[in-house]
Structure 1
Amino acid sequence: MDLLEAMHRRHAVRAYTDEPIDAPTCDDLRALIGRLETEGGIEMRLVTDEPDAFGNALLHYGMFRNVRNYVAIATDQTKDWERRCGYWGAHVLLRAVQLGLDTCWVGLSFSKHQAARHAAFDADDKVRFAIAVGHGVTHGKSSRSKTYGQVASVEGGIAVPTWFERGVEAALLAPSALNQQRFMFRLEADGRTVAADPGIGPYTRTDLGIAQYFFEIGAAGAPFVWR
């Protein structure tokens, strides 16, 4: 499964079976996490067979069942930490899908205290998010989405390149807190600079980071730059 296929297959899954994640899959995810942590300046841990972080879903937004495996994501409060959590966490999210797992990006509906305890992060790092991973009871379903025209614009009347359209369409497949999709992508008049605006609201900067990674996959190596 390539990354484009993984983006289309990915749906938010909140209920999981008891089937464990096999050792080669865990090793693959941990190897990727090890590479990304240095590059992204965030901390991530794959935690397996641990029910405490999602053990009392009734106290949180959303309903989760039998989440025993997750990737905890932590940072300090250095510049751009919100977007970086989304951007680098999205790499792990899609790799998990490629490996045949179901996933859900989670901001509120888990115990950050329990996740921090089991992940054993450094004292300066605070748990911000989790990615639930495992074998879903179902593979989830598509949710409503904004349209291309609602999240994209082009300056100066230039012809819209195919890579920009494909990038925006890919970004619309990304998970977004409360499904708000408040990000905006604007192709500037030079035809290669993409301005990315998170919009206003909770978790919008993190949503933008996830959407930017999805955009890059959809754009398929096009020579553009972010602004």
Structure 2
Amino acid sequence: MELSEAIRVRHAVRHYTDKPIPQDIVDELQKTIDRCNREGNLRMQLKLNDPAAFEGFLTDYGIYKGARNLVAIVSDKTPDWEERCGYYGAHVLLRATQLGLDTGWVRQFGRHLSKHVALESGERPRFAIVMGYGTNHGHQHRSKRYDQVARVPKGMGTPKWFCNGVEAALLAPTSLNQQKFVFTLQPDGHTVEAKAGLGLCTHTDLGIAKYHFEIGAGPDADFVWSRVEH
């Protein structure tokens, strides 16, 4: 499965079966986690076969049932940690989808889950990705329109890669499905500003959306990210 397809088939799942994740899939996931930890200065941790981790755990969306596998996204408070958690967490999320797993992004990593994670000085568990084999594969949520999150200078033609990138970003999971981000093509035609709005976890959501944008734009897209101060 290509990443572009994984973006489209992945939906949040909260009810899981007790089917274990095969070792070959675990090994592939761990490779992705190790690479993302190096590149993103994170310490994501894969935890398997622990049903107690989600027992009675209530989120804004309801209770996770049958969940027993998770990737804890752990970081310190170095600059842009929120966006990095989202960007590299999205790598793991979509890799799991490629490997045939159902997933859900957990944004309320409280004390209940914290005891299942090893922490070093200055670190905190920020988010988690629950994964496994769902009792269903979830469903598509309502999305904003392209014109609500995309900006192009007046009179400038819009490159196809930019349109594709924004459309892919609109499929990214965001906290409470708020999609508070905007992608703006700069007058030079190849610099893109990605900016988060105000609200819960918006900088983390932006990191997820930026990785989706890169996948949608494609490897041959001639663009660079502009730097936005948080």
TM normalised by structure 2 equals: 0.94
Which residue is 2:61 aligned to?
Answer: 62
Which residue is 2:205 aligned to?
Answer: 207
Pairwise CA distance, 1:114? 4.7
Which residue is 1:225 aligned to?
Answer: 224
Give the match's secondary structure for 2:54.
coil
Give the match's secondary structure for 1:43.
coil
Which residue is 1:35 aligned to?
Answer: 35
The one-letter amino acid paired with 1:32 is: T
Q: What residue ranges of structure 2 are gaps of 5+ in the alignment? A: none
Q: What residue ranges of structure 1 are gaps of 5+ in the alignment? A: none
Pairwise CA distance, 1:57? 2.3
CA distance in 2, matches of 1:117, 1:30: 21
Give the match's secondary structure for 2:116.
helix
Which residue is 2:129 aligned to?
Answer: 131
Pairwise CA distance, 1:51? 2.0
1:72–1:127 contact (8 Å) kept in structure 2: yes
Pairwise CA distance, 1:223? 1.5
Which residue is 1:14 aligned to?
Answer: 14
Matched, 1:50 2:50: yes
2:165–2:216 contact (8 Å) kept in structure 1: yes
The one-letter amino acid paired with 1:42 is: L
Give the match's secondary structure for 2:115.
helix
2:77–2:122 contact (8 Å) kept in structure 1: no
1:156–1:189 contact (8 Å) kept in structure 2: no
The one-letter amino acid paired with 1:97 is: T
TM normalised by structure 1 equals: 0.95
Q: Cα deviations across residues 174-227 of structure 1 (Å, max 9, x unaligned)?
A: 000000001000001110010111111110000000000000000002120111
Q: Cα deviations across residues 96-122 of structure 1 (Å, max 9, x unaligned)?
A: 0000000011101x5x43544333232
Please, which moves more after superposition, 215-224 or 117-126? 117-126
CA distance in 1, matches of 2:218, 2:185: 16
CA distance in 1, matches of 2:47, 2:15: 17
CA distance in 2, matches of 1:188, 1:34: 34
Pairwise CA distance, 1:42? 1.0
CA distance in 2, matches of 1:17, 1:71: 17
1:183–1:204 contact (8 Å) kept in structure 2: yes
The one-letter amino acid paired with 1:72 is: A
Which residue is 1:175 aligned to?
Answer: 173
CA distance in 1, matches of 2:169, 2:101: 21
Q: Cα deviations across residues 146-177 of structure 1 (Å, max 9, x unaligned)?
A: 01001001014210000000000000010000
CA distance in 1, matches of 2:35, 2:66: 29
CA distance in 2, matches of 1:117, 1:90: 23
Pairwise CA distance, 1:125? 1.2
1:145–1:172 contact (8 Å) kept in structure 2: yes
Which runs of 4 or more aligned residues in structure 1 lie more than 4 Å from their structure 2 counterparts after TM superposition? none
2:117–2:125 contact (8 Å) kept in structure 1: no
Q: Cα deviations across residues 47-102 of structure 1 (Å, max 9, x unaligned)?
A: 001123311224x4222111100100011111000000000000000000000000
CA distance in 2, matches of 1:114, 1:41: 25
CA distance in 1, matches of 2:193, 2:99: 32
CA distance in 2, matches of 1:198, 1:43: 24
Give the match's secondary structure for 1:118.
coil
The one-letter amino acid paired with 2:3 is: L
2:11–2:103 contact (8 Å) kept in structure 1: yes
